Chain A
Amino acid sequence: DTEVTQTPKHLVMGMTNKKSLKCEQHMGHRAMYWYKQKAKKPPELMFVYSYEKLSINESVPSRFSPECPNSSLLNLHLHALQPEDSALYLCASSQEPGQGRIYEQYFGPGTRLTVT
């Protein structure tokens, strides 16, 4: 099974709302990622978790708060977002990269977020 699932598929929220995006994988991967993708652009890395610990934060505003409750789950908590945060949010997972090793990332279908 090489599936990464994401919920919800679509989300509309106001600028004062609090919502969460969820991602799940059952491939035994120990690295998980959040990306943001604007229309007609490549994905931009937001966060990387390695063994349930945050290892990379690409200077993402604090209104985005990631959480990794266990090795299979990754959440992205959203609060006080701006309209420019509207985008497709993609989750991915991979085996943990190491010295001399590169593993492909498997992507979920994404959550289409609209901030009104």
Chain B
Amino acid sequence: AQSVTQLDSHVSVSEGTPVLLRCNYSSSYSPSLFWYVQHPNKGLQLLLKYTSAATLVKGINGFEAEFKKSETSFHLTKPSAHMSDAAEYFCVVSLSGYSTLTFGKGTMLLVSP
């Protein structure tokens, strides 16, 4: 079985400050991990993915995430928040060879001027 826990339902930051969105996973096997972003009334956009290559993964729009097997974590970071980053972020896990995704409950990122 696999599961994903996003540790914060809401995160508030000021524009220009760092962003940290936390995600822990549980999986019996080596997982693949993704972060998706969803702006209001839009579909999901892939930010980045981890598939057992480099543990530090760089994504679009300045986001990156680090896979830490010992901590079963895959936290998403960005050095400097922009107003356009305000959205819902989903941490997602999938097992090798399977097509189904397991979503976390989501973290709403709020960015204030």
Contacts and interface: CB of A to CB of B under 8 A. Distances in A.
Interface residues of A, number: 32
B41 A42 contact: no
A105 B94 CA distance: 11
A108 B43 CA distance: 6
B43 A42 contact: no
Nearest to B108: A40
Nearest to A42: B103
A41 B45 CA distance: 16
Where chain B touches its partner, the secondary structure class is loop
Interface string A18-59: 000000000000010100000011110100101000011000
B96 A101 contact: yes
Contact of B43 (A45, A99, A104, A107): A107
Contacts of B32: 102
Nearest to A102: B32
Given A42-B103, A42-B105, A110 B43 contact: yes
A42 B105 CA distance: 6
A107 B36 CA distance: 10
Contacts of B97: 97-102
Q: How large is the interface on B (under 10, 10 to 19, 20 to 34, 35 or more residues)?
A: 20 to 34
Interface of A: 4, 6, 31, 33, 40-43, 45, 48, 50, 55-56, 88, 90, 92, 94, 96-102, 104-110, 112
Interface of B: 32, 34, 36, 41-46, 49, 51, 90, 94-101, 103-106
26 contacts: A6-B43, A31-B99, A33-B99, A42-B90, A42-B104, A42-B106, A45-B100, A45-B101, A50-B99, A55-B99, A56-B99, A88-B41, A92-B44, A94-B99, A96-B99, A98-B97, A99-B96, A99-B97, A102-B51, A102-B97, A105-B46, A105-B101, A106-B46, A109-B42, A109-B43, A110-B43
